[in-house]
Structure 1
Amino acid sequence: VIEVPGHTLGHIAYFHDDPRSPWLLSGDTLFAAGCGRLFEGTAEQMFDSLQRLASLPAQTRIYCTHEYTLSNLRFAQAVEPSNPAIAERFAEASRLREANRITLPSDIRTELATNPFLRSNDTAVAAAASAYSQQPLDSPQAVFRALRAWKDRF
């Protein structure tokens, strides 16, 4: 059991550390290409929780609570329009949804390449978040806070 405050103060995730096939039940903390809204917790708590989950093994399968993948990828494209991994993932997710299939589960490796909420250290993500907030952002936490505010209005 991993404490992941942010969405709510008492939010938890379940991680199964199987060496060949680890998996994570992430609840409303980590979504495919996104993260949960902040209802009780702070942006800093959610940032820390997401960093904790992002440090899990790359092959960890992520089972999140909702199928928001396409919506989240539209936002990811707005943040990083030149990221080819996002474009490829959006095309694949679109094909799956058009066929009435789910896009889940995801995995940590894919999220690290395409989820803007896990990419607050990336120069392009920081530049997009700074442009959106119309001010320089001096830390990954500040970038995350701006991304979450942007997504809330997206």
Structure 2
Amino acid sequence: MTLVVHQFACLSDNYGYLVHDPASGETVAIDTPDADAYLAEAEKQGWQITQIWNTHWHPDHAGGNEAIKTQTGAIVVAPEGDAARIAAIDRTVVAGDTVALGEFAATVIDVGGHTMGHNAYYLADASIAFVGDSLFALGCGRMFEGTAPQFWASLQRLKALPPATLLYCAHEYTAGNARFALHADPDNAALVAYAAEIADRRANGLPTVPALLERELATNPFLRADDPAMEARWGHDGDAVATFAALRSAKDSFR
């Protein structure tokens, strides 16, 4: 049997994820932006939430922990680096730890930068990764707490995953990200095609998530900060960190 990922919209632009293992009957909530929505979606599926895996401390990711735990008794797993600002934790994890959903193991990856303790959860046997706000389709999270070298190192860890990995990011930001990506990397034919597909999907009310890592490697400007053409375009030949920092700063003020 394979894992079932149930994706649904919640709050203004978040995606909620419930991951169900039919063999064990366990269900993990990836983050808890909206407790009521998660509980309702689990009930619709006929699932019981048994675990919560938080990616980072922001309220639109961990704000529903207590309510869901009260209703279900779920075990809450959270990043050690953000633990001081997350409620109802049962276990903290750091890079290299594993968490289990039935027979499926998820490796914890340090993706700090958006927040200092941000984690991602990579399930190799299912070829999926839940990356929170560290990486988006054609974008990455704002660098609220970390540094450019730290965030770039985090993105390199995600880049190193198998290209067939599906990335489940936490927000529907892709149309806006595409506009900036085309500004940042206008000669990228693969990006132009991807942006057109995104525009079509959004016009038809369809999600753009999950994203295939292989496609992101070819089109996401933040993952391409070590590409010589990108470095030259952004005036930092041979310096991926400076290129990443310039891209992130430009995106922060891009309209």
Give yes or no for TM over 0.5: yes
Could you say what secondary structure the match of 1:88 adopts? helix
Equivalence for 1:133: none
Equivalence for 1:55: 160
Q: Which portions of structure 1, spanning 4 or more consecutive aligned residues, are displaced by more than 6 angstroms?
A: none
- Which residue identity lines up with residue 138 of structure 2 in the other structure? A
Could you say what secondary structure the match of 1:15 adopts? strand
Equivalence for 2:41: none
Query: Shift of the alpha carbon at 1:23?
Result: 0.3
Equivalence for 1:5: 112
Structure 2 gaps, min length 5: 1-107
Instruction: Show the 5 A alignment for 1:40-51.
Output: 40-51=145-156
Q: Deviations over 1:100-126 (max 9, x none)?
A: 111111011011000000101222211
Indicate yes or no: 2:247 matched with 1:142.
no
What is the aligned counterpart of 2:176 among 53, 57, 71? 71
Q: Percent identity?
A: 49
Indicate yes or no: 2:121 matched with 1:14.
yes
Higher relative contact order (Cα pairs below 8 Å, separated by 6+ residues) = 1
Query: Shift of the alpha carbon at 1:138?
Result: 4.5
TM-score (norm 1): 0.92
Query: How far apart, CA to CA, are the structure 1 residues paired with 2:249 and 2:178?
Result: 16
Indicate yes or no: 2:82 matched with 1:82.
no
Q: Deviations over 1:51-107 (max 9, x none)?
A: 000100000000001111111111111111111111100110000000011111101
More helix by share: 1
Query: How far apart, CA to CA, are the structure 1 residues paired with 2:111 and 2:194?
Result: 26
TM-score (norm 2): 0.56
RMSD: 1.1
Could you say what secondary structure the match of 1:38 adopts? coil
| Count of paired positions | 147
What is the aligned counterpart of 1:94 among 199, 211, 220? 199
Query: How far apart, CA to CA, are the structure 2 residues paired with 1:124 and 1:139?
Result: 12
Contact 2:228 2:237 in 1 (8 A): no
Structure 1 gaps, min length 5: 131-135
Could you say what secondary structure the match of 2:167 adopts? strand
Larger of the two Rg values belongs to structure: 2
More strand by share: 2
